[in-house]
């Protein structure tokens, strides 16, 4: 299968060389890699240029849309700056972060999954972070969720879900919409991706409220948003996090903020989330 990779990068001089090295060492090489230098002020661009000069399948795009680099919308804006430079002659499109190290067989394995099961629409491995000299699973998401830093999409799935939304919450909307359209989301737990800069390190406080807004935009409704916010707050051991999430939800509801999903998709998402919550509760209770 032919796969293309897009890597948005903003001030990733400490990590991007390791990321690109892991890409060029893949047992199944990509046909094209576009690295989008998103207004970096460090030596990120210099490192990118070194790889562009050495590898013909790697190209660079510069973008200077905004000095403020926020999680969510900006990274997808950068993604599309790279996507615009590609042709449509691919089977799989990949969005990578510039702070990860992939196992050498990552894309050979991912492409094999796509070939073996035509219903797989989104695929990826699991993120691991370093703690006390050991690489441990990064428990920011369930193990059945393909994380944003290393997502691969079958072309037909990518097109059917309308691509990636330029909004915080894009990496939840995509898998929910994929499932809505009948695609499978596959996580290969044998593929351990080293995440060099754990998620959330650079997030600002207001992002908690922004995530509450995402709950509304995804059509979660009050009760699912309440449970999800409570779960996150308990994990972070902070009542303020819970209040911030719900404040964002209610603010978006009051303003009738434009949602990322249709009413039909929202109903599917609420049913799916209720089913997932029910399974977790039964698992905890030993049913």
Tell me the pairing of strands 120-131 and 184-195. parallel
Contact in structure between 93 and 6 (CB atoms under 8 Å): yes
Q: Does position 67 have pLDDT exceeding 70, yes or no?
A: no
The encoded tokens of residue 181 equal: 């359209």
Q: Is 6 helix (H, G, I), strand (E, B) or coil?
A: strand
**Most confident option among 39-43, 71-75, 141-145:** 39-43
pLDDT at 71: 57
The encoded tokens of residue 201 equal: 């390190």
Report how far Cα 219 is from the mean position of its chain's Cα atoms: 19
Tell me the pairing of strands 58-63 and 32-38. parallel
Digit-coded pLDDT (tens) for 247-256:
999 999 999 9
Fold entry, domain 3-195: Spore Coat Polysaccharide Biosynthesis Protein SpsA; Chain A (3.90.550)
The encoded tokens of residue 120 equal: 């797989």
Digit-coded pLDDT (tens) for 93-123:
999 999 999 999 999 999 999 999 999 999 9
Q: How large is the average pLDDT for residues 199-216?
A: 75
pLDDT at 236: 86
pLDDT at 277: 86
pLDDT at 201: 46
Q: How large is the average pLDDT for residues 216-240?
A: 93
pLDDT at 199: 64
Digit-coded pLDDT (tens) for 23-32:
999 999 999 9
Of residues 198 and 216, more confidently modeled: 216
For the chain, give every domain's residue range: 3-195, 207-282
Q: What is the DSSP string of 7-42?
A: EEESS-TTTHHHHHHHHHT-SS--SEEEEEEES--S
Question: H/E/C letters for each residue in 130-174?
Answer: EECCEEEECCCCCCCCCCCCEEEEEHHHHHHCCCCCCCCCHHHHH
pLDDT at 176: 97
The encoded tokens of residue 113 equal: 């999954």
**Distance between CA 63 and CA 51 in Å, rounded?**
18
Considering all CA atoms of the chain, what is the largest pairwise distance in Å, rounded to the nearest integer? Answer: 58
Contact in structure between 140 and 195 (CB atoms under 8 Å): no
**Distance between CA 245 and CA 57 in Å, rounded?**
42
Q: Does position 15 have pLDDT exceeding 60, yes or no?
A: yes
The encoded tokens of residue 41 equal: 């002020």
């Amino acid at each position: 299968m032919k796969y293309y990779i897009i890597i948005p990068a903003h001030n990733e001089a400490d990590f991007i060389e390791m990321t690109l090295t892991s890409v060029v060492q893949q047992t199944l090489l990509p046909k094209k890699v576009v690295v989008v230098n998103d207004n970096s002020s460090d030596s990120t661009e210099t490192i990118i240029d070194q790889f562009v000069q050495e590898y013909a399948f790697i190209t660079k795009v510069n973008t200077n849309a905004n000095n403020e680099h926020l999680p969510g919308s900006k990274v997808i804006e950068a993604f599309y700056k790279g996507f615009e430079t590609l042709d449509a002659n691919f089977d799989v499109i990949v969005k990578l972060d510039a702070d990860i190290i992939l196992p050498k067989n990552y894309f050979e394995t991912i492409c094999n999954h796509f070939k073996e099961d035509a219903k797989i629409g989104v695929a990826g491995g699991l993120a691991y972070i370093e703690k006390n000299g050991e690489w441990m699973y990064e428990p920011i998401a369930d193990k059945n969720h393909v994380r944003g830093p290393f997502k691969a999409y079958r072309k037909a799935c990518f097109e059917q879900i309308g691509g990636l939304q330029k909004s915080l919450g894009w990496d939840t909307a995509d898998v929910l919409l994929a499932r809505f359209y009948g695609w499978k989301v596959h996580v290969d737990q044998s593929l351990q991706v080293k995440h060099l800069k754990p998620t959330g390190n650079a997030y600002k406080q207001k992002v908690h409220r922004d995530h509450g807004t995402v709950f509304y935009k995804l059509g979660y409704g009050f009760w699912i948003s309440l449970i999800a916010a409570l779960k996150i707050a308990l994990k972070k051991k902070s009542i303020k996090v819970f209040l911030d999430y719900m404040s964002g939800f209610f603010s978006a509801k009051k303003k009738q903020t434009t949602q990322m999903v249709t009413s039909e998709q929202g109903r599917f998402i609420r049913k799916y989330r209720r089913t997932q919550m029910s399974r977790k509760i039964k698992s905890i209770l030993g049913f």
